[in-house]
Structure 1
């Protein structure tokens, strides 16, 4: 039986449940999924400023705490924390291991960076327009599949670091390696993909993001555990968590995670397979234990998806609060003032009343008069100077707007836009570098 644990579901995930899972979970592998479309574009931007960086900013913190535990317990780490620079990340992990007195073998998987392989004529999937119609492209990363990780697994590396790899593929690769599955066995690869998809968001399947008090109660969320899966040679798996940890693994949490970010359950496309989630069977196998089986699939696609990051200007924001009698009307007037002052220079301007209309753009209780309102004005603009002006105009409401405004804040962020395209699989070449 193969046991794979999930140590992170996104770049900023908590570290403590991963350490506990590595300590007490009796794992073979710990997978940390830390990369999203915007995350890797921002990493590429950091790499442009410093060629020695470009990996996940929490790499050092995670590895300093995890390496002593995983080494002591014979757990191999697989992670996409390499982001835009897997080789630099691998070197840094080796340095950290040395500082801890640990002897490690680290493998870096590269080849997902395809910036030199895309062309201005490539079609953007979201709009059907050519890539040439977008501003300066700063990154292009293909979603690699499990096959790219197999040489790294064969190398015996204690830590395997990748860039952009499809999330479930990080979990699927050790299944293929451990059991010797054929990459052409679509049903088995699909079943492994189902398991990887269920594990990839870590705490979500244990009740995080599921919890809704009084409707879907989850116990002890403050001490939520992260999941593991026991997987047999057919791909059948039982999802569980370390005894005594908080959270909940149930048919409901597993079903929600199964459908998370899935637009077509009968045709979930990954670099490894086109999986059919409709046939998946779930069964309670005990307390906080759910058995997963019967994933089905079709052969993998001939093209790989590419996530493209481009310079999208700047976001300027300003916030200010109004409280007490007539707060909503004063906040509304303040928003109108800023909009009028900026309308000729900032055409893409958004005015929100946080807690009332900022998420759904309307209030579900229009007759309720809030006692306090926080005004937020934000706009996407081409220059930093214009972005700064938005916050400045909001701050100026202190003495140039309605009565009682307070707690003003202003922010400017450089924006990275994300679109995607396809690239023929045969154009992408992957490589594994082993360091020790």
Structure 2
């Protein structure tokens, strides 16, 4: 068993930058690189792509990321763990093998399966959001359970250099190599709680190095144009030291870590994951050097008996239209335009919005009533079950060009097919994961 491992986070969401992972792999002296690229919205979009083409459904940036990373992973003997398989991890694994073959690289890919539980749905399951039966949401299109570190461990027991998964809980991607390398007991809730704290701190990549933290007035962060992503040295007892590659931009500090620790956490004493109910309330973060912090004190309770499942359903269509007004009385003209369209078509939609971007689109008119903007971007949006009605929104906005009010310009229109996402809980005993090994 090892006494210490180093894990880097090269991506914190699907659309993250490509170069931080390359820098971490080349200069970070990593044992493991994690690319965390999946969320409820991301997997719903992946399911749409898979429906249109069964060979798709993995992350849209998988090929571009692998083109640059594969040679570096081999050169630096770094294992990659990623959930970029999204809705189709087998296809994602095969694509990695295809890229490796083109480059003349010998590599093995372990594909973690079992999160897709769509075939197990009855429609009678009650949603966590509204306690309504799934069948009341109309046509269901996907169901993906949040697997835990235990699903990744068999993949790590192979000699595969790349492990690709579908829906796995974000901290579990980091926790699995800790359990593997240190021989941690998967029933040791305190060790797993500490490991989950570490994974949670790293999972959003640039957020802990100052990205989402930054405010140029109150919380300035240096050199954000070349923001570095984090790595962590984890020790066998669970102690962790988080830093970033020397020379990269950003900052690792107690303040950036505390903000990330509380990110998406409703109850710090009971943070539910498939591996453990983690307790963040006793975590201690200490700065030990410039851009280096120590993290201790994570605890936990035994893992839950149920797993969260994200269920996608067809949610109709959204039509959007935008147009700009500038100069004297810009706001008044934009409001007149919004009123015109509201009177003409709002009754046709089950949800309808009129936003004045630049004044009230984020926080409403009450907080913006004293502003007098020189320019306004009017946005109209409507949700409907009918595609032709979604198209009508943009058409009506475009018609404002000549039908007034005066001075509108830069009109755009868009129609989007919507997938909604709700959640259910499912007994973990009914969900079985498997690993399939691919080789170039």
Compute the TM-score of the two structures, normalised by the length of structure 1. 0.99
**Deviation at residue 42 of structure 1 after TM alignment:** 1.5
**Deviation at residue 343 of structure 1 after TM alignment:** 2.5
Q: 2:20 is matched with which residue?
A: 17
**Superposition map of 1:216-365 within 5 A:** 216-362=219-365, 364-365=367-368
**Deviation at residue 363 of structure 1 after TM alignment:** 5.1
Q: 1:179 is matched with which residue?
A: 182
Q: 2:49 is matched with which residue?
A: 46
**Deviation at residue 234 of structure 1 after TM alignment:** 1.1
- Does 1:398 find its partner at 2:371? no
Count of residues paired in the alignment: 436
Q: 1:2 is matched with which residue?
A: 5
Deviates more, 1:360-369 or 1:342-351: 360-369
Q: 2:153 is matched with which residue?
A: 150
**Deviation at residue 38 of structure 1 after TM alignment:** 1.4
**Deviation at residue 402 of structure 1 after TM alignment:** 0.4
Is the CA contact (8 Å cut-off) linking 1:187 and 1:298 kept in structure 2?
yes
- Does 1:422 find its partner at 2:431? no
Hey, what's the Cα distance between the residues in 2 that align with 1:107 and 1:372?
A: 53
Hey, what's the Cα distance between the residues in 1 that align with 2:110 and 2:144?
A: 19
Q: For 1:415, what is the secondary structure of its paired residue?
A: strand
1:286-331, Cα deviation, whole Å (9 max, x unpaired): 1100100110000000000000110000110000001111110000
Hey, what's the Cα distance between the residues in 2 that align with 1:263 and 1:214?
A: 28
Alignment equivalent of 1:136, drawn from 125, 129, 139: 139
Runs of 4+ residues deviating >3 angstroms: none
Is the CA contact (8 Å cut-off) linking 1:2 and 1:28 kept in structure 2?
yes
1:368-404, Cα deviation, whole Å (9 max, x unpaired): 3111111000011111111100000000000112000
1:243-268, Cα deviation, whole Å (9 max, x unpaired): 00000100000000000000110100
Q: For 1:279, what is the secondary structure of its paired residue?
A: coil
Q: For 2:242, what is the secondary structure of its paired residue?
A: strand
Is the CA contact (8 Å cut-off) linking 1:337 and 1:401 kept in structure 2?
no
Compute the TM-score of the two structures, normalised by the length of structure 2. 0.98
Q: 2:68 is matched with which residue?
A: 65
Q: 1:91 is matched with which residue?
A: 94
Hey, what's the Cα distance between the residues in 1 that align with 2:30 and 2:160?
A: 16
Q: For 1:116, what is the secondary structure of its paired residue?
A: helix
1:35-83, Cα deviation, whole Å (9 max, x unpaired): 0111112211211221111101110000000111111000000000001
Is the CA contact (8 Å cut-off) linking 2:109 and 2:161 kept in structure 1?
yes
Hey, what's the Cα distance between the residues in 2 that align with 1:138 and 1:42?
A: 11
Q: 2:130 is matched with which residue?
A: 127
Is the CA contact (8 Å cut-off) linking 2:360 and 2:368 kept in structure 1?
no
Deviates more, 1:342-351 or 1:382-391: 342-351
Hey, what's the Cα distance between the residues in 2 that align with 1:151 and 1:293?
A: 28
**Superposition map of 1:181-220 within 5 A:** 181-220=184-223
| Residue segments in structure 1 that go unaligned for 5+ positions in a row | none
Q: 2:173 is matched with which residue?
A: 170
Is the CA contact (8 Å cut-off) linking 1:320 and 1:375 kept in structure 2?
yes
Q: 1:77 is matched with which residue?
A: 80
- Does 1:410 find its partner at 2:409? no
- Does 1:34 find its partner at 2:64? no
Is the CA contact (8 Å cut-off) linking 1:241 and 1:288 kept in structure 2?
yes
